[in-house]
């Protein structure tokens, strides 16, 4: 796997040294540094917690497939990510660490009458004190691209905490371990564009992706089952036919919990 072009180049220098466990991680994910002190997330297969609805030992591979798909789309959402066969605790995925600026997070919960102008409201609720609150996200092209990316990869866990903003306000998508299931499982906080038309340049990217993928693409399909590969192509075809954002399904909780 990872046999051609840019994707196969290493993203770290020398060897990876684990320096701690990731805070808030549900799996045995490690924070590492390379020989030039740059930080990386390393998710070894060995640290994966079994899930009822995903085959065992496939989560880090799904992360790499999602990152490779982002590269193929040229959408620059996922931090540079690679498969590593000889990591400190065996095979897994490695991803560049993004220094997150909390205040720039494009998804948040507000008192209902304080949602910033221009933000899209997703869900109304009441907090512990009975005050009306609203989950909302920004309305911008990068976030819209991320919502479409999630529809393509069938992301079952786009929490607010899986969207990072760096000091320049650039946004990144992380944690794609539960993507590409063969059943529809789209679960996200980015529902602001339901039924809206997909922007023409994004349709162009989708058509190009369809061509690049063909029936089999090493950098994606090595990590997926046959049924998952088939469904990925079906979802792309479906989006190209409707030319609009999907709506939440009735038989699957469509907002991840917890939201952060």
Ligand X SMILES: Nc1ncnc2c1ncn2[C@@H]1O[C@H](COP(=O)(O)OP(=O)(O)O)[C@@H](O)[C@H]1O
Cβ neighbours of residue 228 under 8 Å, at least 6 residues apart?
Answer: 180, 181, 182
Q: Which does 181 bind (CB under 5 to 8 A by kind): Mg ion, ligand X, none?
A: none
Look at the block and give the residue holding tokens 């090493």.
Answer: 218
Is residue 255 within the footprint of ligand X (CB under 6 A)? no
Is residue 157 within 8 Å of residue 186, measured between CB atoms?
Answer: no
Task: Name the pairing type of β-strands 120-126 and 107-111.
Answer: unpaired
Distance separating alpha carbons of residues 173 and 177, to the nearest angstrom? 12
Instruction: Report the length, in residues, of the chain.
Output: 260
Tell which positions 130-189 bind Mg ion, by CB under 5 A: 175
**Collapsed DSSP state (helix, strand, coil) of residue 140:** coil
* Least distance from ligand X to the Cβ atom of residue 59, Å: 7
Is residue 147 within the footprint of ligand X (CB under 6 A)? no
Q: Which does 34 bind (CB under 5 to 8 A by kind): ligand X, Mg ion, none?
A: none
* Least distance from ligand X to the Cβ atom of residue 85, Å: 20
Q: Which does 29 bind (CB under 5 to 8 A by kind): ligand X, Mg ion, none?
A: ligand X
By beta-carbon proximity to ligand X, the closer residue of 100 and 182 is: 100
Distance separating alpha carbons of residues 205 and 228, to the nearest angstrom? 21
By beta-carbon proximity to ligand X, the closer residue of 143 and 174 is: 174
Q: Which of 119, 120, 144, 236 is nearest to 199 (CA)?
A: 144
Mark 9-21 as b/e (b = at least 16 C-beta within 10 Å): eebbeeebeeeee
Residue 78's φ and ψ, nearest 5 degrees, are -95, 130
Is residue 95 within the footprint of ligand X (CB under 6 A)? yes
By beta-carbon proximity to ligand X, the closer residue of 60 and 219 is: 60
Is residue 48 within the footprint of Mg ion (CB under 5 A)? no
Q: Which does 41 bind (CB under 5 to 8 A by kind): ligand X, Mg ion, none?
A: ligand X
> Binder to ligand X among 46, 80, 88, 100 (CB under 6 A)?
100
Is residue 22 within the footprint of ligand X (CB under 6 A)? yes
Site for ligand X, rule CB under 6 A = 22, 24-27, 29, 41, 79, 95, 97-98, 100, 161-162, 164, 174-175, 177
Site for Mg ion, rule CB under 5 A = 175
């Amino acid at each position: 796997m990872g046999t051609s072009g840019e994707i196969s180049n290493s993203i770290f220098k020398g060897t990876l040294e684990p320096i701690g466990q990731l805070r808030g991680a549900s799996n045995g994910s490690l924070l590492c540094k390379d020989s030039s002190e740059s930080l990386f997330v390393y998710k070894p297969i060995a640290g994966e917690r079994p899930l009822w609805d995903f085959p065992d030992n496939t989560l880090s591979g799904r992360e790499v497939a999602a990152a490779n798909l982002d590269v193929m789309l040229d959408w620059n959402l996922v931090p540079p990510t690679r498969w590593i066969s000889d990591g400190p605790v065996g095979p897994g995925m490695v991803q560049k660490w993004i220094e997150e600026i909390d205040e720039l997070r494009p998804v948040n919960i507000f008192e209902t009458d304080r949602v910033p102008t221009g933000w899209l409201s997703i869900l109304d609720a009441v907090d512990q004190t009975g005050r009306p609150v609203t989950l909302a996200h920004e309305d911008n092209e990068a976030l819209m691209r991320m919502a479409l990316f999630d529809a393509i990869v069938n992301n079952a866990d786009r929490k607010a905490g899986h969207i990072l903003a760096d000091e320049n306000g650039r946004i990144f998508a992380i944690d794609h371990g539960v993507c590409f299931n063969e059943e529809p499982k789209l679960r996200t906080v980015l529902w602001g564009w339901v039924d809206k038309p997909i922007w023409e340049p994004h349709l162009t990217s989708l058509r190009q992706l369809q061509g690049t993928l063909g029936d089999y693409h090493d950098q994606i399909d090595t990590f997926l089952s046959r049924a998952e590969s088939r469904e990925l192509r079906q979802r792309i075809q479906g989006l190209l036919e409707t030319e609009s954002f999907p709506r939440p399904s009735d038989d699957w909780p469509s907002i991840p919990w917890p939201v952060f």
